[in-house]
Amino acid sequence: MIVATLEQEERYRHIHPQFMQAFLFLQQTSQAELAEGKYEIDGQQVYALVQEYDTKPEAECGWESHREYIDIQYIVSGREQINYAPLNQLTGGSDYVADKDKINYESSVSPGSSLQLGAGQFAVFFPEDGHQACIRSGQTEHVKKMVIKVKI
């Protein structure tokens, strides 16, 4: 798991051959103008999901992980809390849903780590990283987020 700002992305380009495409998309796109939906960057190898929502209480947000894709979760506007825990600390894993590349979990056996992300910040979650997103950090806020999916 990585947490950084877009200005620091050069440190992380080398981690995956397609991270460069993902970060260039974030830098060269008018993020505030993009409507919700899916945007192909390199077919199914790299694509962006633009989402808008109101943050929720932690108890209403589920844990998840992915097998086939790395998530780069970038906050365009607003603020949210994202919790992180290694997979071996998550309980109640569901069956893998291949068409969504997702496994849902009931809870974490340890507190894990809480990240407070605001506009211009991103978190990278690898397949071994369980995460719980969309959590309100204090007051409920409207968030616009771009999740860049990078095929492993």
The pLDDT assigned to 144 comes to 99
The pLDDT assigned to 54 comes to 99
Q: What is the mean pLDDT of residues 69-74?
A: 99
Q: What is the mean pLDDT of residues 4-19?
A: 96
Segment 26-56, tens digit of pLDDT: 999 999 899 999 999 999 999 999 999 999 9
Angstrom distances, CA of residue 5 to CA of 2, 22, 26, 71, 132: 10, 14, 11, 15, 20
What is the dotted CATH code of the domain comprising 2-151? 2.60.120.370
Six-digit token string for 87 = 């997979």
Question: Alpha-carbon distance 91 to 112, whole Å?
Answer: 13
- Helices within 17-129 (DSSP H only): 19-28
User: Which residue from 93, 94, 41, 96 is spatially nearest to 72, judged by alpha carbons?
Assistant: 41
First to last CA, the chain: 15
Q: Are 136 and 56 in contact (CB under 8 A)?
A: yes
Taking 80 as the threshold, does the pLDDT of residue 111 lie above it?
no
The pLDDT assigned to 109 comes to 81
Provide the residue ranges of all domains of the chain, joining segments of one domain with +.
2-151
CB-based contacts of 20, cutoff 8 Å, min separation 6: 13
Angstrom distances, CA of residue 33 to CA of 20, 36, 76, 97: 22, 10, 10, 31
Verdict on whether the full-model pTM lies above 0.85:
yes
